Amino acid sequence: MNTSTRTKPSQINSAVGTPITLTIAGSDSGGGAGIQADIKAISATGGYACSVITALTAQNTQGVSGIFPVSPAFVEQQLDAVFSDLDIRAVKIGMLSDAGIIQAVAKKLRQYQPEFVVLDPVMVATSGDLLLEEDAISTLKSELIPLATLITPNLPEAVTLTRTTGLNIDPSALQHTDVEGLIEQLKTISSSAVLLKGGHWEQDTFSTDYLITNSDTVTISAKRIATRNTHGTGCTLSAAIASYLAQGCPLTEAVQKGKDYLTQALSHADQLSIGLGHGPVHHFYAFHSSREQG
């Protein structure tokens, strides 16, 4: 009889010190956003990436032409596969296409209890159209946000999240004066930290984000980069933050380092020539720069 005991994932991976981050998101066939951007960002910032795919998209630099959701049951099967074998310290969550998938992800996060969860609430397209039905948004707020370490809404997504709080803001006419009200209302819907991203104000010289906790609000700014290659910026930022959390950085440091990484990826983005539309940021700018110098 074999009396050996199966070694736990944490016993294996802790020994080699590998910071593992799981990304749960949709696949971008064009390679610039979603799972593909997350894996690049996690790898480029020093982590190891594993993935659970929630939807397939027919997508390129010019837009999305089709979405094929993965069944909630198979999302659960993927989650069981990675959590049962890998010592996952941080999880980044992106596109979740319906309430059933949101519930499946929440169920498994409660079961496996990873240390850090970064939730990028992908709800509003650049056009302003909702990407999630109202019941899915409600499920996101009740099931997933309470499990998150950090949520990272952009300005239109923050408006959508706070719509039922009595704060009436037209997302197409957001003003800088609306930020204070958004910050206060975001505190009421989440005990998690919130990174409110201000990148939609394209006329500003600086891109300013607001890291909101129950005790403080920290402003994190970087010079705005003039480039058309901005596809996947939200995915990249949240994945980089999760990667730095998995590596042991405190929250504020992880957010600052994630912001710095994205700024550099944007500043080098025009070195790439990808597609006919809005191309991706340059995730591996540091590797390419060192190779050229060598």
Judging by DSSP bridges, how do beta strands 193-197 and 48-60 pair with one another? unpaired
Q: How confident is the model at residue 126 (pLDDT cuts 50, 70, 90)?
A: low
Q: pTM value?
A: 0.91
The answer to whether residue 235 is catalytic is yes
Helices (H), 51-112: 72-85, 99-112
Q: Establish whether 234 is a catalytic residue.
A: yes
| pLDDT for residue 129 | 52
- From the list 280, 191, 203, the residue with the least C-alpha distance to 239 is 280
User: What band does 156 get if pLDDT is binned at 50, 70 and 90?
Assistant: confident
* 272 Cα distance to chain centroid: 23
Which is the catalytic residue, given 30, 94, 199, 234?
Answer: 234
pLDDT score of 286? 93
Instruction: Give the active site residue among 199, 235, 257, 263.
Output: 235
H or E stretch at 255? helix 251-267
Instruction: Please report the pLDDT score of residue 32 as a whole number.
Output: 95
Q: Which of 65-74, 160-169, 189-198 has the lowest mean pLDDT?
A: 160-169
For residue 283, pLDDT over 90 is answered with: yes
CA pair distance 43, 38, nearest whole angstrom: 8
Spatial distance between the Cα atoms of 235 and 256, rounded to a whole number of angstroms: 16
Q: Which of 61, 139, 162, 233 is catalytic?
A: 233
Higher local confidence (pLDDT), 175 or 131: 175
| Residue 6: predicted pLDDT | 40
**Could you give the CA distance from residue 223 to residue 82 in angstroms, rounded to a whole number?**
38
CATH number for the domain running over 18-293: 3.40.1190.20
Least confident range from 84-93, 165-174, 178-187: namely 165-174
Is 232 one of the catalytic residues?
Answer: yes
Residue 163: predicted pLDDT: 79
Catalytic pick among 40, 197, 257, 259? 197
User: 62-66, 69-73, 258-262, 266-270 — which is least confidently predicted?
Assistant: 62-66
Q: What is the per-residue pLDDT across 232-245, written as a single tens digit (0 to 9) for each?
A: 999 999 999 999 99
Q: Which of 177, 191, 182 is nearest to 159 (CA)?
A: 182
What does the domain layout of the chain look like in residue ranges? 18-293
Active site residue 233: yes
Q: 45, 162, 230, 263: which is the annotated catalytic residue? A: 230
Task: Give the pLDDT confidence score for residue 9 in this predicted structure.
Answer: 55
Average pLDDT across the chain, whole number: 88
**Catalytic residue (one of 26, 31, 198, 232):** 232
φ and ψ of 120, to 5 deg:
-95, 100
The answer to whether residue 230 is catalytic is yes
> What band does 174 get if pLDDT is binned at 50, 70 and 90?
confident
What's the confidence (pLDDT) of residue 122?
85
Of 230 and 9, which is predicted with more confidence?
230
| CA gap 95, 35 in Å, rounded | 9
